[in-house]
Structure 1
Amino acid sequence: MKKYKLVSFDIDGTLLPYADKDFYPEIKNMFKELKKNGYTVVICTGREMVTIGNLLDGIEVDYFLGANGTFIYDCHKKEIIHEDKIFYSDFMVLSDFLDSKNVDYSVMTNKYGFFSEGHSFDSWFLRDHTDKFKWLNELDSNDSLHIITIKTESQSLIEETRKFLKDKKLKLEINSTWSKGFFVGPVNSNKARGLENLGNIINVSLDEMIAFGDSSNDYEMIKEVGYGVAMSDSPENILSVAKDIAKTAEEKGTLLKLKELGII
C-alpha cells in the first residue's frame, strides 16, 4: 500500500458510537499505535471547542480540526493555529432572518455556545456542556465565530436559507445537513479544506492522507483525500465516493480497517 503520512478521523458515528461519551480503550490504543508508526493523527469533526469536552484528554492526537474544518487546534501547543472565522456582521444578518422563521439556532465560539431563546439543551450531545452555554444577547462582536447550527426538519427552510445567503451576498454557506438540521460556516469551509490548510502547514498533501467518516459533513474529506474510508452504515452518497468501507463504530471499524491495511 502507498505510504501515507496522516490519518484523520471523524468522531460521532466513526470513532464514537452516537451518544457514547468516551472512546473505547482499543481506540485510544489505536492512536498510540499510529503515533508509534510515525503517522500524524488528526480528529476532524463538526464538534468545536465547546462540545469536544474532554475527549482530547489523554489521547495521542496531534491536531483537532473543529467546526467542520473551520479551525485547527494544535493539541501539543494547546492553541488554535488557523481559523476561518464567520464575520459577526454576516451572522447578525442571518440571525435576523432565522428569528423571523421562529427556528432554534446557535453559534459556537472558541469559548462558549450562544443559543437562541427557547433552545432545548436536553440532548445527549449538549447536556454535559451546559456550563459553556449563553444566550445570544450575550454574544460579543469580538468573539471568534466558528459554526452556526440550525435545528429544523424542513427541507424548504434549508433551500430558503441557501437562497437568502446568496441573495444577501453573505460570506456564509450551508456546508452540511443532517436529519434534524443543518450547519452554516464560512464560504468554502469543510473538512477537506481544513485538512488542506493543515497540510500546507505541516507539508502533507491531501493525497498523502487517509480519512474515516460517516456523514454528510465527511463527503468532501472522503472524496478528496488519498484514501477515503466510509463506515458501513454511512449514507449512499458517502459510500459512493469512498475508496474503502469499514465496519461500524460499534464494531471498532476504524481499528479493524487500519489493521487490515497494515497501517498498525
Structure 2
Amino acid sequence: MVSSGKGGRRMIRAVFFDIDGTLMPFGAPGIPESTQAALDALTLRGIDRVIATGRHTTEIDLLPIRDVPFDAWITLNGQLCYDGQGRIFFENPLTGPEGLLQLFHEKRIPVMLVEKDRMYINFVNEKVIAAQLDIATPVPEVGEYQGASIYQAIVYVTREEQAEMARRIGDKQITRWNDRAVDIVEKGASKVTGIEKYLALKGYRREETVAFGDGENDVEMLRYVHIGVAMGNARQTVKQAADRVTASAEEDGIMKGLHELGLI
C-alpha cells in the first residue's frame, strides 16, 4: 500500500480506473488477464479499486467488466455514483437543461439524453454509429424526453462544430471523449466530483489516491489524485496532465503501472 511519488512516500488507499482504453483495450472482448490479476492483487493489499467512467450503468451491463467486483462505481463522469452494493451515494442532475432540450427536439444534430435508468437519442446518423463503434457499444435507442432528470448529455459533434453547440446550451461542462462526440454535465463537474464524494464517504485523503486513464475526460482526475497515471495509448495532452505514463492497455499497462508504484 506504500507508494513513492510527488510529496514522498504515502499510504495509498484507493485506485480509480477509467474503463475504455484503460481497463479494457479498445475492441477487446474483455479485460486482459494481467489486468484482472492486478485488480485481485490490489484487493489482497487492502486497497480499494474504484471505477471512474463516463459510461452509464446500462452500458456497463453490456460489457464483460460488469462481472468484476469494484468497491464503487463513479459513472457519468461523476454525476451518478454507486457503492459496491449498488446503492447511490451521490447524484448531480443537470440544472437548466432547456438549451440541450431545444437541440434534442430540433433533431438537427444527434443528442443523447442520459437519465438515472434510461438513455436515448433523438436520431441516429453515421457519426453516431462510428462513435459508438469506437467504444464497442450498441447504438442507443431513439426515444422522447418525458420530463425526468437528466444527468448527462452526449452530443455528436466534431471539434469544428463544438463552439456553436456550446453557445446554445449555456454554461455547462463539455468534455470530449471522441473526435465525433462530447459529454455534457454540470459546469465544473467531472470525475473528480465523484472521487471527492467517495473520499468523504470513506474518510480517505486526496494524498492517498492513484488514478489510471487515457481520455480527455480523465485529465481532471489525473491532475487531482496524488499520482495520476496515463496509459501509453493516451493522447499527448492526457500524458502531459499525468505524473507518470505506463504501457498501453494492450501491453499490460495496468499491471506494469501498479507494480512500478509498488502497489502490487
Contact kept? 1:195, 1:206, Cα under 8 Å: no
Hey, what does 1:147 align to over in structure 2? 152
Structure 1 residue 213: Cα displacement:
0.6
| Matched residue, 1:200 | 200
Contact 1:50-1:110 at 8 Å conserved across structures: no
Q: Does 1:66 align with 2:71?
A: no
> Within 2, Cα distance between the matches of 1:110 and 1:25?
32
The root-mean-square deviation of aligned C-alpha atoms, in Å, is 2.3
Letter in 2 for 1:228: G
Q: Number of aligned pairs? A: 252
Q: In the alignment, what sits opposite 2:115? A: 109
Distance (whole Å) between structure 2 residues aligned to residue 95 and residue 55 of structure 1: 33
Structure 2 length-normalised TM: 0.86
Structure 2 residue ranges without an equivalent (≥5)? 5-9
**AA aligned opposite 1:239:** K
In structure 2, the residue corresponding to 1:50 is in which secondary structure? Answer: helix
CA separation in 1, counterparts of 2:214 and 2:47? 22
Choose which of 39, 42, 49 in structure 2 pairs with 1:41: 49
CA contact (8 A) 1:115 1:136 kept: yes
Q: Match of 2:81, as an amino acid?
A: I
Write the letter of the residue equivalent to 2:49. V
Residue of structure 2 equivalent to 1:51: 59
What is the CA-CA distance between 1:23 and the residue it aligns to?
1.2
What TM-score, normalized by structure 1, do the two folds share? 0.86
In 2, Cα distance between equivalents of 1:209 and 1:60: 19
Partner in structure 2 of residue 136 of structure 1: 143
Q: Are 1:24 and 2:32 an aligned pair?
A: yes
AA of the residue aligned to 2:11: K
Please give the per-residue CA displacement for 1:166-200, whole angstroms capped at 9, x wherever unaligned: 3xxx5x32133531121111222111222112111
CA distance in 1, matches of 2:69, 2:198: 17
Give, in whole Å, the separation in 1 of the partners of 2:250 and 2:136: 22
How big is the shift at 1:78? 1.7
Task: Indicate how the Cα distance of structure 1 residues 55 and 140 shifts in structure 2: closer, same or farther if over 3 A, else same.
Answer: farther
Supply the distance in 2 between the matched residues of 1:78 and 1:212 (Cα, whole angstroms): 22
